[in-house]
């Protein structure tokens, strides 16, 4: 296992023996088809790795998620991983479908090497459609929408890397994301895809650049809007040569009730002409679309219809809880199922996440909690530990609702359904409205790139019931009931969902 300067693990080359599982996203991709039940894959790669015997589950699901650092119960596995996404990538109705190869998309040979090294074999639909538009000259802005987990990151990372002139030691591409966790993840993709290029990278996230640094000239800078604004204001980054400006989770980044002001401030400090602006998200609600079109004028647009926004491989369920306290009991009764793969529990407030985590820990369960009130280094340690599979259950807030890509996550629980900002809601609780976009992003933390996933919503009163119905209507997807008192039924339903 190797750590680079930023604390990321260096990808293990395709086809190499695997000493440690789940160390990098790219590597994790190659591994995630291990065992049965993942016959849908397409990228054929193999791994002779270690399998944790203890991971055999009550559901009979194969030990797909080998983990952690203790080697005591690891045995050398001899079976091969063959992730055959081919079926889905061959289905024209799938968001993973493409009629083209990466070669046909006009990418530089060094980037092709990076892509194949990550275990990708064919583009997804968004990559096939967006890349030729993104790479054509003169550069044209892009507003791109595609379902969660369908490969948007690769589309904009390849564009940034394609447009950088590596002979110049100047910042040429800037990417903003709504959370430090997502910025770090995007950077890991830049590093992996740019492995065969001389790309230099830098973060613009809290505590990433030592005080006193006066100049950053890395080719690609990835960060969050607050820190980026600060660095640009202090002229630490010379932006005169910036050619590409990317907003991941663009609807969130442009939302006037969220990060919109800060993002606009960043844009106003970047070159006014000749800069390609790229906006990507799985959701673009109507109230942001108009602003997005102004922010990225004359953009090529790739849009989804409202009923296409969620993917079919995520089974959406709900559990009818008696009251707030019963939600906790139900969560605890689910614990065993939550730890078969990995799971993320979303709460509306930080204090709820902390309280649940403390209670569960006190009762002997192993869970982690992550939210924006924790300091930067603690946040990094928690998400890294979860990514590496050391923690199986992560209790969190909306801070990681978007973008986070951890293939082993097969369950998402909405302990609290997402609500629109309280300031948007009327004081009267019954006027609160569900945050449909956040719901779509939260459940999208599972079911990545064609994998199966399950989301469970806890409803416990008239309001939450009404919110769930509104979500059903807005997404055009049925949410199926799972009983809370019959453990066998619960298990049976979960088994069905993950099959």
User: H or E element: which one contains 481?
Assistant: strand 480-482
Nearer to ligand ATP, 33 or 139 (CB): 33
Let me know: does 379 contact 180? Beta carbons within 8 Å. yes
CA distance 42 to 450: 10
- Rounded to the nearest whole angstrom, what is the least distance from the CB of residue 164 to ligand ATP in the complex? 19
- Rounded to the nearest whole angstrom, what is the least distance from the CB of residue 422 to ligand ATP in the complex? 25
At residue 46, the 3 state secondary structure works out as coil
Nearer to ligand ATP, 22 or 407 (CB): 407
Give the residue carrying structure tokens 């990808």.
11
- Rounded to the nearest whole angstrom, what is the least distance from the CB of residue 43 to ligand ATP in the complex? 5
Nearer to ligand ATP, 118 or 209 (CB): 118
Q: Smallest Cα–Cα separation from 174: which of 294, 250, 270, 301?
A: 270
Residues in contact with ligand ATP by the rule CB under 6 A: 25, 29, 43, 120, 122-124, 127, 146, 148-154, 282, 403, 405, 407, 444, 448-449
Q: Smallest Cα–Cα separation from 408: which of 345, 455, 451, 357?
A: 451
- Rounded to the nearest whole angstrom, what is the least distance from the CB of residue 333 to ligand ATP in the complex? 29
Nearer to ligand ATP, 127 or 493 (CB): 127
- Rounded to the nearest whole angstrom, what is the least distance from the CB of residue 304 to ligand ATP in the complex? 11
- Rounded to the nearest whole angstrom, what is the least distance from the CB of residue 236 to ligand ATP in the complex? 28
For residue 296 the two structure tokens come to: 């990225």
Q: Tell me the residue length of the chain.
A: 499
Nearer to ligand ATP, 16 or 373 (CB): 16
- Rounded to the nearest whole angstrom, what is the least distance from the CB of residue 290 to ligand ATP in the complex? 22
User: What residues contact residue 66 under an 8 Å CB cut-off, 6+ apart?
Assistant: 21, 22, 31, 34, 49, 50, 51, 52, 55, 74, 389
Q: Smallest Cα–Cα separation from 246: which of 235, 254, 255?
A: 254
Nearer to ligand ATP, 148 or 172 (CB): 148
- Rounded to the nearest whole angstrom, what is the least distance from the CB of residue 126 to ligand ATP in the complex? 7
Nearer to ligand ATP, 148 or 171 (CB): 148
User: H or E element: which one contains 246?
Assistant: strand 244-248
What are the Cα distances from residue 22, in Å, to 9, 259, 353?
10, 32, 26
For residue 90 the two structure tokens come to: 């061959």
Mode of pairing for the β-strands spanning 50-52 and 74-76? antiparallel
Nearer to ligand ATP, 11 or 260 (CB): 11
């Amino acid at each position: 296992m190797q750590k680079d300067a930023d604390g990321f693990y260096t990808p293990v080359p395709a086809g190499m023996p695997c000493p440690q599982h789940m160390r990098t996203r790219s590597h994790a991709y190659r591994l995630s088809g291990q065992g049965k039940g993942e016959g849908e894959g397409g990228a054929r790669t193999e791994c002779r790795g270690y399998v944790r015997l203890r991971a055999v589950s009550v559901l009979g699901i194969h030990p797909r998620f080998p983990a952690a650092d203790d080697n005591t119960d690891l045995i050398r596995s001899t079976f091969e991983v063959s992730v055959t996404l081919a079926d889905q990538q061959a289905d024209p109705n799938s968001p993973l479908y493409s009629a083209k190869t990466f070669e046909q998309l006009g990418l530089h040979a060094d980037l092709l090497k990076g892509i194949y090294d990550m275990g990708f074999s064919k583009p997804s639909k968004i990559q096939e459609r967006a890349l030729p538009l993104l790479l054509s000259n003169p550069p044209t802005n892009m507003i791109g929408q595609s379902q969660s987990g369908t490969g948007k990151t690769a589309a904009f990372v390849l564009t940034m890397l394609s447009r950088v002139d590596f002979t110049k030691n100047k910042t040429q591409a800037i990417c903003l994301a709504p959370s430090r966790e997502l910025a770090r993840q995007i950077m890991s993709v830049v590093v992996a895809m740019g492995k065969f290029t001389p790309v230099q990278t830098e973060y613009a996230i809290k505590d990433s650049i030592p005080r006193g640094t006066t100049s950053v000239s890395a080719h690609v800078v990835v960060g969050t809007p607050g820190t980026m604004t600060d660095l640009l204001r202090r002229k630490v980054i010379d932006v005169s040569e910036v050619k590409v400006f990317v907003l991941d989770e663009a609807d969130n980044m442009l939302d006037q009730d969220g990060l919109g002001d800060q993002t606009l401030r960043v844009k106003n400090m970047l070159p006014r002409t000749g800069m390609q602006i790229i906006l990507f998200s799985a959701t673009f609600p109507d109230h942001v679309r108009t602003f997005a079109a102004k922010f990225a004028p004359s953009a090529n647009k790739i849009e989804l219809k409202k009923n296409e926004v969620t993917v079919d491989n995520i089974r959406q369920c709900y559990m009818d809880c008696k009251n707030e306290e019963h939600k906790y009991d139900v969560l605890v009764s689910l614990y065993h199922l939550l730890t078969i793969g990995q799971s993320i529990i979303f709460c509306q407030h930080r204090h709820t996440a902390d309280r649940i985590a403390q209670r569960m820990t006190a009762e002997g369960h192993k869970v982690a909690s992550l939210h924006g009130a924790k300091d930067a280094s603690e946040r990094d340690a928690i998400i890294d530990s979860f990514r590496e599979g050391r923690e199986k259950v992560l209790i969190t807030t909306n801070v990681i609702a978007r973008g986070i890509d951890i293939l082993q996550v097969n369950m998402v629980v909405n302990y609290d359904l997402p609500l629109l900002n309280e300031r948007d809601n009327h004081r009267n609780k019954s006027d609160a409205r569900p945050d449909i976009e956040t719901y779509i992003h939260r459940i999208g933390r599972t079911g990545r790139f064609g994998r199966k996933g399950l989301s469970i919503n806890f409803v416990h009163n008239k309001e939450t019931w009404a919110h769930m119905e509104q979500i059903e209507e807005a997404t055009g997807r049925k949410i199926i009931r799972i009983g809370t008192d019959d453990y066998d039924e619960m298990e049976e339903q979960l088994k069905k969902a993950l099959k």
